[in-house]
Amino acid sequence: MKRLILLMFTSVVLVAAGCGGSSTATLGSDDAAVVGSKPITKVQFQALMDRAQKSYTAQKRPFPKAGTTEYEQLKGQAVTFLIQRAEFDQEADAMGIKISDDQVNKRIAQLKKQFYGGSDTRYQKALKQQGLTEEQAKQEVRAQVVSEELFKKVTADVKVSQADVKAYYTSHKSQYGQPETREVRHILVPKKALANSIYAQLKSGANFAALAKKYSKDPGSASNGGKLTISKGQTVPPFDKAAFALKKGELSQPVKTQYGYHVIQPLSGVKPAKSTPLAKVQTSIKQQLEQQRKNETMTKWVEDKKKHYCKSGIKYQVGYQPNPDPCTTLGSTTTTTSQ
């Protein structure tokens, strides 16, 4: 299903922020829906649909016709997005999050520099292509900054201890090391008889590189005289076992794999496995664990709010209720009103 394109350079972190409000306002004739104390106006809805249509046009895609399944899905996405935005705003208000015009302008300047090389002309062209006025773009950026601040507040108490870092390192030690390696060369042929013949020639002093270039069917090494640098466990098991069991310079009897028959000769000894010390990776592990736990904390918070808001219900005008209703999975109900 084609997705509704809402923003040209930013996205809202909490797109699943729930569906409802603790104190539902009256649904007016100019409203598409109402959630909590905030109405979603028909003008807001139509503006979003207009922007979506311009996005389709910019991508040379036909906009869905009214009454089609895709159009109804698009409508549902638009209404759901606006409801989520309204709830999001109410949560931010309740937590005292206020974003100044200066913060918004600074973020827009950053976005201009990042995506448009600092060019206001290119920025204005992008707004036009997306069907956004400058004021609408500021609203979108403000919502993004608010979402980031809300994320910070909700996850402020998330901590990762040194013991947590060490435990993760211990249980994922294979990720922080390098296995045994060695340099080898091989000749791959499809038939065992040919492999035996090549083995016999090599035992009699034939040039390995010349035979590899002449006979080997391995496109990755034939032109290089069959040379490979391999890590333990990197190749198929029969090849891996033989390559690491042989002594330097020793020739293997033909080894059968799913690719054919290999004659293998190590060119170096086995370089031992290495482990990256905890001290070198503990900072990145801590950052990874912190982000993971913050995301989990935020997800739980979102789900809790979703249940709370859905319990209070939403009011929709006829023709604006999404299908499926976002609250249905929670067993909550919404009201559809004709005005």
User: Are residues 187 and 154 part of one domain?
Assistant: no
Kindly state whether residue 153 falls inside one of the protein's structural domains. Answer: yes
User: Are residues 64 and 150 part of one domain?
Assistant: yes
User: Are residues 105 and 55 part of one domain?
Assistant: yes
pLDDT for 230-269, tens place per residue? 999 999 999 999 999 999 999 999 999 999 999 999 999 9
Residue 197 half-sphere exposure, CB side, CA atoms within 13 Å? 10
**Model pLDDT, residue 131:** 80
CATH of the domain at 199: 3.10.50.40
Kindly state whether residue 62 falls inside one of the protein's structural domains. Answer: yes
**Overall domain count for the chain:** 2
Kindly state whether residue 239 falls inside one of the protein's structural domains. Answer: yes
User: Are residues 121 and 42 part of one domain?
Assistant: yes
Lowest mean pLDDT among 35-44, 215-224, 245-254, 281-290: 35-44
Kindly state whether residue 43 falls inside one of the protein's structural domains. Answer: yes
User: Are residues 133 and 186 part of one domain?
Assistant: no
User: Are residues 184 and 146 part of one domain?
Assistant: no
Range of the domain at 295: 31-158+290-337
User: Are residues 202 and 53 part of one domain?
Assistant: no
Kindly state whether residue 282 falls inside one of the protein's structural domains. Answer: no
Kindly state whether residue 143 falls inside one of the protein's structural domains. Answer: yes
Kindly state whether residue 84 falls inside one of the protein's structural domains. Answer: yes
CA separation for the pair 91, 88 (Å, rounded): 5
Kindly state whether residue 234 falls inside one of the protein's structural domains. Answer: yes
**Model pLDDT, residue 336:** 57
pLDDT for 98-124, tens place per residue? 999 999 999 999 999 999 999 999 999
User: Are residues 55 and 98 part of one domain?
Assistant: yes
Mean pLDDT over the full length of the chain? 88
pLDDT for 177-220, tens place per residue? 889 999 999 999 999 999 999 999 999 999 999 999 999 999 99
Q: Is 328 a residue whose pLDDT tops 90?
A: no
User: Are residues 153 and 40 part of one domain?
Assistant: yes
**Model pLDDT, residue 190:** 98
pLDDT for 42-54, tens place per residue? 999 999 999 899 8
User: Are residues 40 and 148 part of one domain?
Assistant: yes
User: Are residues 185 and 125 part of one domain?
Assistant: no
